[in-house]
Amino acid sequence: MGLWSNILARFRLMTHDSQPMTAFLLIGLGNPGTRYAHNRHNIGFMAIDAIAAKYGFPKWSQKFQGHIAEGKIGTHKVFLLKPQTFMNLSGESAGTLARFYKIPLENIIVFHDELDLPLAKIRVKCGGGHGGHNGLKSLDAHLGADYWRVRMGIGHPGDKDMVSPHVLSDFIREEVPAVEKLCTSVAKHIDVLLLRDDAGFMNKITLDMKE
């Protein structure tokens, strides 16, 4: 990017008194294109889309090998990112954006599918291993491991040989309402997670899912 692009980027992260405003980066993991749009592997994209809709983020732009939207949630400057590199190269997009805007790892939250959780269940943790998830593996390589992970359950097919076709298949009709409800709840309560209240965030979502 050119000199003026760098200057404008830095300016957007300044408050009215010219003190730097720390931004958050929310990343949804998935594969680009309509072919994969409703796959279980793309639940991270679905969560990010729900957040963008809830908070009226402007139109997506294409930068840093991803689809990006910039806006505010409460008093926080927030970047939403859907990498367009395919899952196993997600870190290339995320790493470039995070370094350009100097976003610290503790302000990065990643939404991804989780085989080891039942459908529409959720868990949040900071740091940890990638568990064989190619998107997380790429993020770890380009960012480090100490970012926040929102694990969104898609269920396990019961046979390790069926994992790939399972994650790359669409949610069936009976599953869609629970997935949509989960994404809506994530968007509704994301402001709680930005305050690093992961327990409060999970509790609110659990209550929503019981209604």
Residues known to be catalytic: 41
Give me the count of residues in the chain.
Answer: 211
Residue 206 tokens read as 């659990």
CB 101 within 8 A of CB 27: no
CB 150 within 8 A of CB 110: yes
CA nearest to 135, candidates 86, 185, 198? 86
Rounded to 5 degrees, what are φ and ψ at 62? -110, 110
How far apart CA 10 and CA 171 sit, in angstroms, is 40
- For 7, 100, 146, the CA distances from 186, given in Å and listed in that order, are 33, 27, 21
How far apart CA 41 and CA 18 sit, in angstroms, is 41
Which runs of E-coded beta strand occur in 3-75? Answer: 24-28, 61-63, 66-73
CB 72 within 8 A of CB 55: yes
CB 194 within 8 A of CB 76: yes
